[in-house]
Chains A and B, each alone.
Chain A
């Protein structure tokens, strides 16, 4: 069965960096677009970034562009999110998710999320 397991979250000071990882299993990882979606405490969902199966197509939300970098290692079936210059409004649970199909930007499989807290 499909499994997505995030790791790497934690407490970081403003201006600091974190690297989130997502380990995938149970499907042909390189066939699927992958995405990061976040949810601030008590708030709604915010799309952060996606990456194509080959890694050649990448998009970011304006709120993270220039600070966050999405990447993947298909040999390790892993997705990453490098987060730099972190701010308080980046505090959220970060979910790794798989797109339903290429061309369908709906997230059909989700991890349990990893919390990121940006605070001094």
Chain B
């Protein structure tokens, strides 16, 4: 199974500042035949289901604010919020869909400092 490891486990950032969350996979998520990374990012607010933010590692889902960006390839990926807003407080998860069983990172709790 592919192990997904996020860092840090929790993060406190001041409003308007940048937040960066990392995700590392135990094997490459880059599929050579289409040059795509099989990685997604989700945001989960309290008492809500998760919401898809990005797929193919960096393709923004419709409706996601452009202060959110995602990057990376192979085994190392990053989710960045350029200017933290109060409504961004949530747990963020990465997920690989390169091979089954699909696996998630343990989550990163993002809070306002």
Residues of A within 8 A of B (CB): 44-47, 50, 59-62, 95, 97, 100, 104-108, 110-113
Contacts and interface: CB of A to CB of B under 8 A. Distances in A.
A95 B93 CA distance: 15
A28 B13 CA distance: 41
From DSSP, what is the main secondary structure of chain B's interface residues? loop
Interface of B: 1, 38, 40, 42, 44, 49-52, 55-56, 61, 93, 95, 97, 100-107
Nearest to A109: B52
Contacts of A61: 101
Contacts of A112: 49
A113 B49 contact: yes
Most central of B61, B93, B101, B106 by chain A CB within 10 Å: B101
Contact of B102 (A100, A105, A113): A105
Q: SS class of chain A's interface: helix, strand, loop or mixed?
A: strand
B74 to A, nearest CB: 18
B40 A45 contact: no
Given A44-B93, A45-B93, A45-B95, A107 B100 contact: no
A46 B55 contact: no
B55 A104 contact: yes
A95 B55 CA distance: 19
Given A104-B55, A105-B38, A106-B97, 18 more contacts: A45-B42, A45-B95, A45-B104, A47-B95, A47-B103, A47-B104, A50-B100, A50-B102, A60-B101, A95-B49, A97-B49, A105-B102, A106-B40, A106-B55, A106-B95, A108-B55, A110-B51, A112-B49
B73 to A, nearest CB: 17
9 contacts: A44-B106, A44-B107, A47-B102, A62-B1, A100-B61, A105-B38, A108-B55, A108-B61, A113-B49
